[in-house]
Amino acid sequence: MAFFAPFQRCQFLPASCEPSPKFAATMMEHSSESLPQEVVAVSSMPLVGHRVDVYFGREGFAIGQPGNAPFPFVLMPSSHTDGESPAGPDPSVVRVCGTFPIWSVTLKFECESVAKSFEQEVSSTSVQVVQGMHADVASALADIQYPTFSPVPNTDEREGQFLCGGYVLVARIRDNGHNMTQDAIAAEVRFCLRWMELRVCEGNSVELLFYNHHGPRAHLVDVAYWNEDETKGRKSELTGHILSFRDPEIRGAYRSGSEVKHVLFLAFQSGIEAEGWADMATGALHKDCSVTDDARQRLQASVVSQIQSNLQCFARDDREVVPQLSAIQSDAGTVYWVDYYERRKQEIREAVQACIAQDVSDRMVSSDTCVIIP
């Protein structure tokens, strides 16, 4: 199961916002990615340095000026406020990241208290979006209560010692904070609902294993390793209800935007739940039972009461992660792709055989090295 915000739907966000602005601010900066050519924008971004009004809705906010249509910022499950503002350590400046269709925007408010109120509004709205997605699929997951601290029945073949399991929204998103990706074209992002298990595996490594569902026949679709030494692997970062993993940059740095690795985002239903998962992994990594037990208690207390789902900016996609062939009859799409991959395999085999059979004797470099055999 997955959710994404189509470009067409985000244009209707301003209509669902409150009629009167909730905040007034100055536009300081926004990310520079452009919309795809086929997307017709019904509003334009206010100019940097101008005063703007901020209108809040159930799934995001819009900023605009009198007489102009407000520009929408849908708050995705990955939306959060970034403390490293380009404007410097000004407490009245707030940078919101992880929004759609534009990744980030920076606003300056009249004082620090107003900026804090805006941050709280952004955080609570983003959490409500995550909770709404969980509520939207609650009927399909009625047979499991999560988070759980006992393995799902009939999953004994899974590797490692089970510590905790639960559903979480997962997405791999382009690292929009990298200077080589800032001019890229905006793209729709899919947030997949994954069953995540925290396990201690071989070599005492702590791993987050992601499955397409919690049942015994689930497919493993992704893995994240919990390592607090960022020089040895992914760097994890906890921001509110968001836990992100960023791969270390390759030696010599990236040379193009296509080389920049995506960031793995995990969106939980509350900041308490995200912190509990992080502490549970940390306690397991350092073999500290007191930290693990405390995290377990907080996770048990973090269970969110069911709310009513009413998502308007997001579309739901229930396609399976791993497609399965029909046991009765293959459709046209299945036949096409099976034939396509078979042709690709044959082309690779022929190319490898041609390389083996080619005569390269006329291209060998001569050498005057003498081999002395005693």
Segment 258-289, tens digit of pLDDT = 777 889 999 999 999 999 999 999 999 999 99
Q: Are residues 116 and 162 in the same domain?
A: no
If we measure between CA atoms, which residue out of 198, 161, 203 comes closest to residue 282?
198
Q: Is residue 371 part of a domain?
A: no
pTM of the predicted protein model: 0.79
| 96, 116, 136 - which closes a domain | 136
Going through 150-189 in order, the beta strands assigned E by DSSP cover 161-173
CA dihedral 242, 193, 205, 303 (to 10 degrees): 60
Residue 157 within any structural domain of the chain: yes
Same domain, 114 and 162: no
What is the per-residue pLDDT across 50-86, written as a single tens digit (0 to 9) for each? 999 999 998 999 999 988 889 999 999 999 998 655 5
Paired residues of 245 in beta bridges: 236, 264
Listed in sequence order, the residues at least 6 apart from 73 whose beta carbon sits closer than 8 Å to its beta carbon are 13, 60, 61, 62, 63, 96, 99, 100, 102, 105
Quick check: 93 and 28 in contact, CB under 8 A?
A: yes
Percentage of the residues of the chain whose pLDDT score is greater than 70? 86
Instruction: Say whether both 57 and 205 belong to one domain.
Output: no
What is the predicted pLDDT for the residue at 36?
84
The tally of CA atoms less than 13 A away on the side-chain side of residue 171 is 22
Enclosing domain of residue 156: 144-317
On whether residue 356 sits in a domain, the answer given is no
Mean pLDDT estimate for the chain: 85
109 within domain boundaries:
yes
Q: ω before 216 within 30° of 0 (cis)?
A: no
pLDDT of residue 257: 66
- Domain edge (last residue) among 317, 346, 361: 317
Q: Which of 276, 298, 317 is the last residue of a domain?
A: 317
What pLDDT score does 216 carry?
Answer: 85
Q: Please report whether residue 103 resides in a domain.
A: yes
203 & 96 share domain:
no
Residue 148 and residue 132 share a domain: no
Same domain flag for 213 and 73: no
**Among 310, 284, 306, which residue's Cα sits nearest to residue 296?**
284
Residue 343 lies in a domain: no
Per-residue pLDDT at 182: 66
- CA–CA separation, 99 vs 77, rounded Å? 9
In CATH, what number is assigned to the domain containing residue 221?
Answer: 2.30.29.30
For the chain, the domain total comes to 2
Question: What integer pLDDT is reported at residue 322 of this predicted model?
Answer: 43
Calpha distance 237→227 (Å, rounded): 11
- Whether residues 160 and 110 share a domain: the answer is no
Regarding whether 199 and 296 lie in a shared domain, the answer is yes
Q: Which residues of the chain have pLDDT under 50?
A: 321-323, 325-326, 328
Q: Are residues 92 and 71 in the same domain?
A: yes
Could you tell me if 102 and 150 lie in one domain? no
**Residues 288, 153 within the same domain:** yes
pLDDT at 79: 94
**Residues 227 and 267 placed together within one structural domain of the fold:** yes
